[in-house]
Each structure stands twice: as C-alpha cells, then as structure tokens.
Amino acid sequence: LLLFPFSSLSFLPFFTASLSSTSFHVMQISSFVNSTWTQNRGSGWLNDMQIHGWDSDTGTAIFLKPWAKGNFSSETILMLEEIFRVYFFVFTSEVQDHVNEFELEYPFEIQGLAGCELYAGGAIMSFLRGSLEGLDFLSLKTGWPSPEGELRAQKFCTVITKYKGICETVEKLLLETCPQYLLSLLEAGKADLQKQVKPEAWLSSGPSPGPDRVLLVCHVSGFYPKPVWVMWMQGEQEQEDTQQGDILPNADGTWYIRTTLDVATGEAAGLSCRVKHSSLGGQDLVLYWGHSLSIGLIILAITVPCVLILLGLALWFWRRRSYQDIQ
Ligand SMILES: *[C@@H]1O[C@H](CO)[C@@H](O)[C@H](O)[C@H]1NC(C)=O
Ligand SMILES: *[C@@H]1O[C@H](CO)[C@@H](O)[C@H](O)[C@H]1NC(C)=O
C-alpha cells in the first residue's frame, strides 16, 4: 500500500471547480517531524464537503454525516479501516527507512489524494496523486502515469513491489470500490446533497480606502450549495471593480462570501448588491446602499418622539405623586 497516496491541496480546485462532476476522495497529510515522530492526518471528501475524519490514535474512521457509509456493510467498513491502518503504518515506516535514499530532510510533509470522479455522462475516472512539500511526485489518472515527477514515482514503485498484492489492492480500491461507494453515497446522502438553503445578505462599510472614498461591503451568508454570484451594480450595470472574497465555510455546512467595492463617497448612493443563487428560484436578492441607513433613520425618527413622550408621562406621574405625597 505504500504510496496509495492521496494529494496536494493545490489539486483540489481542479475537482471542485467543475460543477458537472462529483468526486469522492480521501486525503492524507503526513508530517515527518524527525526520525521517530510522524503525524498522520486523514480525511474523506465528497466534492468540497468533508464527510470523514480519521482518528490516528485508534486507527478508526470518523463518520461526519449519517450517510457517510453509503451502502457499505459494517464488515466492509471494518475491512477498509484495517487497510488504512496498515497503510498508514507501512507508509510511515517505509518513508522513514528510505529518507536517505530519497534524499529527504526532516522535517518534511507528504500529502496524498486518491479517489474517483463521476462525470455528467456517467463516466467515472479514478485518480491518485502524491506530493512532497507541495510538489507532485506521483500523479495517476485511471492508471496512466504523467511525465511529471516520473523519476521519484519509479523509485517508489520499486519499493511497492516488495509488498505482494499491494498494487492489486490499490487498483481494486480505486477502480471498483471507489466508484461503487461514490454512487451509493450520492443515493444515501441525496436529501442532504440536493438541499437548497437561501442566503441572507447585509451591507456594511469597510475600513476607508482613502480620503473621500468608501469601501462598500456586501456580506452573503448561510447559502447552500456553494456556487453563488454576487455583484455590485449601478442599476443594471455590473461594477467591474467588484472584488470577490473566497467562499468560506460556516460551521453548519453552509457558505459565506463577501464582495467589496471601493467608490468615491458621493457615488455610493444608488449602488446595489445583487445576489444570484440556485435556492432563490430566479428571484435575485438585491440590497441598495443607503436604504438600510434610511430605514435606520426612520426607526430613529419614530422611536425618539415615543421615548420623549413616555419620559414626559413618567415625569408627570412622578411630579403628581410627589405633589400628592406632600399633601
Ligand atoms: C522528535 O520530535 C518529538 C516532538 O517534537 C520530540 O518529542 C522528540 O524528542 C524528537 N525526537 C528526536 C529523536 O529528535
Ligand atoms: C451499493 O450501491 C452501488 C451503487 O449504486 C451498487 O452498485 C451496489 O450493488 C450496492 N451494493 C449493495 C450491497 O447494495
């Protein structure tokens, strides 16, 4: 199982960016601190959603979603956990034994990624990728090696052949187990995966970008699934200078994004933030800059007189009572 590795983080956007496909992959991050100390972290992902963790003390999987086992039986799950336990053990000791041969220097980090991807037409491709300090040394797609990092990969493969059947196991896991598991996951997690959660949006001003300028900030939060379109507009005109932040995860599995626009103070009025999201059913969410302020002013205009009247009344009662007390 040596180098049944999983992959570099930089590999991820490739899979998550394409909406027409769905992928499941397991990820490994192994930190080799010194000759005796290694930390292994493992996780399982359905697109950009983490559905498995790995408890490296007990060598067991942590299922983060009720449907994360797909349709696999508990025996199959136990067998897979055993494979990963052995893999982590063998991987760690093999790397430690070959540090000099591979010209590695402590501390270093190895990342691995392995899984399969389902395309809209129904085709499924498997992949395997390994990287050392962020540089790929192994990259396989449905079994075809890529020229990059071939030399190191060859060295690793000569190590693999020491273990009988390991290559077959990896092949079976990637080409048979993974596609079956991915299809059953999509079925088991259907309700969760196809859910639509509407975003909430609000406006604020950011730190002033300069004299007579204002940074308009549009916050959009709590939406699912991830794809979203947020733009600052002048009427129907998209503002090209709109800056998109990264789409960040909320703790509840929904997403958050902020987009900003740097404008001259006098030009802010009349600008709006427009949000398009699949949950909105074609009805864009539109927030106008200045409106929240005027609503605030209206509320202020109503509450201040009310408070004054109440105060006046209280004062009148208090006076009257004091007057009666004196009598
Ligand atoms: C390896 O690193 C661990 C954790 O930092 C430390 O406790 C241990 O003493 C180190 N061992 C050696 C041989 O340097
Ligand atoms: C699990 O689901 C996959 C994909 O839908 C299917 O091919 C397989 O036969 C199922 N296995 C069981 C035990 O139901």
pLDDT (mean) for 169-174: 85
d(Cα 327, Cα 318) in Å, to the nearest integer? 14
Q: How far is the CA of 31 from the centre of ligand 1 (A)?
A: 13
Q: Would the pLDDT of 132 be above 50?
A: yes
Structure confidence at residue 175 as a pLDDT band (50, 70, 90): confident
Q: Any idea which of 32-36, 249-253, 255-259, 292-296 has the lowest mean pLDDT?
A: 292-296
Q: Would the pLDDT of 291 be above 70?
A: no
pLDDT at 309: 74
Residue 203 beta carbon below 6 angstroms from any ligand 2 atom: no
Quickly tell me which residue has 């001003």 as its tokens: 205
pTM for this model (two decimals): 0.69
> Which is more confident, 314 or 184?
184
pLDDT (mean) for 142-157: 52
Q: Annotate 193-255 with DSSP letters as a single string.
A: HT--B--EEEEEE-S--STTEEEEEEEEEEEBSS--EEEEEETTEE-TTPEE---EE-TTS-E
- From 67, 69, 71, 124, give the residue whose CB has the most ligand 2 atoms within 8 Å, as the site to mutate: 71
Structure confidence at residue 14 as a pLDDT band (50, 70, 90): very low
pLDDT at 21: 85
Q: Which atom of ligand 2 is nearest to the CA of 187?
A: 5
pLDDT at 299: 56
pLDDT at 143: 44
pLDDT (mean) for 30-40: 94
> Which is more confident, 189 or 159?
189
pLDDT at 192: 87
d(Cα 48, Cα 139) in Å, to the nearest integer? 20
Among the listed residues 201, 208, 324, the one whose alpha carbon sits nearest the alpha carbon of residue 259: 201
Residue 184 beta carbon below 6 angstroms from any ligand 2 atom: yes
Q: How far is the CA of 218 from the centre of ligand 1 (A)?
A: 48
pLDDT at 170: 84
DSSP-assigned letter for residue 68: T
Residue 178 beta carbon below 6 angstroms from any ligand 2 atom: no
Q: Would the pLDDT of 149 be above 90?
A: no
pLDDT at 301: 62
pLDDT at 20: 72
Ligand nearest to the CA of 106: 1
Residue 56 beta carbon below 6 angstroms from any ligand 2 atom: no
d(Cα 301, Cα 295) in Å, to the nearest integer? 10
Measured by CA distance, the residue closest to atom 7 of ligand 2 is 180
Q: How far is the CA of 163 from the centre of ligand 1 (A)?
A: 29
pLDDT at 194: 87
Q: How far is the CA of 39 from the centre of ligand 1 (A)?
A: 12
Q: Which atom of ligand 2 is nearest to the CA of 72?
A: 13
Residue 71 beta carbon below 6 angstroms from any ligand 2 atom: yes
Q: How far is the CA of 108 from the centre of ligand 1 (A)?
A: 14
Measured by CA distance, the residue closest to atom 7 of ligand 1 is 37
Ligand nearest to the CA of 96: 1
Note the pLDDT tens digit of each residue in 207-261. Answer: 989 999 999 999 999 999 999 999 999 999 999 999 999 999 998 889 999 999 9
Q: Which atom of ligand 1 is nearest to the CA of 35?
A: 13
Residues with CB under 6 A from ligand 1: 33-37
| Mean of per-residue pLDDT scores for the chain | 83
Structure confidence at residue 2 as a pLDDT band (50, 70, 90): very low
Q: Would the pLDDT of 160 be above 80?
A: no
| pLDDT over 70, % of the chain | 80
d(Cα 298, Cα 291) in Å, to the nearest integer? 10
Q: Would the pLDDT of 154 be above 80?
A: no
pLDDT at 60: 95
Q: Would the pLDDT of 177 be above 80?
A: yes
Cβ atoms of 176 and 123 closer than 8 Å: no
Among the listed residues 109, 98, 150, the one whose alpha carbon sits nearest the alpha carbon of residue 132: 109
